Amino acid sequence: MKNFIRKFSEYVDRISRFLMASLFIMGFLATLYQVFSRYVLQSEFFSKVFPFINLSLFNFTWIEELIRYLFIWVVFLGIGTVYKESGHAHIEILYKLLNVRWTKRLKLLVEGINVSFFLVLLYFSVKLLTYTSKQISPSLFINMSIMYFSIVVCSVICNIHAMNHFFQLLDENVQKENLKKVNSMAQRSNIEQ
């Protein structure tokens, strides 16, 4: 089970990174085009050089909304990627003050809280989709549920990664307990001899 979740977590992370990079590039290119069409094509120079062409036709009003929505998806996909790498802010002082056994317990508790939080987030984000299913975006005329679905995707991805972290911590505990048993058995055999 833990190997499946580990591999699935890595697979989901690769897909998330690919989608995040693709959406970021699309958003960046759309931003460049928006700046070009607004400040270069609309400039006095171009209107004097090409007086017979209406260059305002190349300034699309929906690009700004598209850029916003692309970056929303990038952020929510990025949350899962950062969570997988344990890159979110956390308090280090507790880990440094506690011994190894209590540090592992604290990490397991934190992962349990994270799983609970992501499950609650999943529940309420799915509920939010029902409210936004009748809303249409002003410029692109797309269903706003597409945007709010990014929260659902984020919570599912984070749950997958949290389960992977949880199983890794349990596996470390099992390995250390087995090592302690082997060491104690070796010490007993040395005492008996």
pLDDT in the model for residue 72:
97
Q: Is the pLDDT of residue 182 over 60?
A: no
Q: What is the pLDDT of residues 85-141, one digit of tens each?
A: 988 877 788 878 888 888 888 889 989 999 999 999 999 999 999 999 999 999 999
Q: What is the pLDDT of residues 5-30, one digit of tens each?
A: 999 999 999 999 999 999 999 999 99
Which range has the worst mean pLDDT, 44-58, 66-80, 150-164, 177-191?
A: 177-191
Q: What is the DSSP letter of 136?
A: B
Q: What is the CA radius of gyration of the chain?
A: 26
pLDDT band at 143 (very low <50, low <70, confident <90, very high): very high
Question: CA 40, 44, 50, 56 torsion: positive or negative?
Answer: positive
Q: What is the DSSP letter of 143?
A: B
pLDDT in the model for residue 68:
96
The whole domain housing 182 covers 2-192
Q: Distance between CA 123 and CA 42 in Å, rounded?
A: 47
User: By CB neighbour count within 10 A (0-12 exposed, 13-18 middle, 19+ buried), where does 95 fall?
Assistant: middle
The pTM assigned to this predicted structure is 0.81
Into how many domains does the chain fold?
1
Tell me what the mean pLDDT of segment 34-45 comes to: 86
pLDDT in the model for residue 83:
95
Chain-wide mean pLDDT for the chain? 88
Which residue has better confidence, 173 or 152? Answer: 152
Do 79 and 151 contact (CB within 8 A), yes or no?
A: no
Do 143 and 187 contact (CB within 8 A), yes or no?
A: no
What percentage of the chain has pLDDT greater than the value 90?
58
pLDDT band at 1 (very low <50, low <70, confident <90, very high): confident
pLDDT in the model for residue 128:
94
User: By CB neighbour count within 10 A (0-12 exposed, 13-18 middle, 19+ buried), where does 33 fall?
Assistant: middle
Of 72, 164, 64, which Cα lies nearest the Cα of 111?
164
Distance of CA 106 to the CA centre of its chain: 23
